[in-house]
Amino acid sequence: MRIIAGTARSLPLKTIEGMDTRPTTDRIKETLFNMLQGEVPGSYFLDLFAGSGQIGLEAVSRGAKFAVFVENNKKAAACIEDNIRFTKFGDRTKLITSDVLTALRSMEGKYQFDVIFMDPPYNCLYEKAVLEYLKNSTLIHEDTLLVVESSLETSFDYLDEMGYNLVKHKCYKTNAHVFIRKA
CATH architecture group of domain 26-182 = 3-Layer(aba) Sandwich (3.40)
* Every domain of the chain and the residues it spans: 26-182
pLDDT of 12: 81
d(CA 116, CA 114): 7
pLDDT of 138: 97
Residue pair 43/32 in contact by the 8 Å Cβ criterion = no
User: The whole model's pTM is what?
Assistant: 0.94
pLDDT of 102: 98
pLDDT of 18: 62
pLDDT of 83: 96
d(CA 41, CA 62): 6
- Under-70 pLDDT residues of the chain: 18-22
Count other Cβ atoms within 10 Å, centred on residue 111: 16
pLDDT in tens, 52-84: 999 999 999 999 999 999 999 999 999 999 999
**Helix/strand/coil percent split, the chain, to 5:** 30, 30, 40
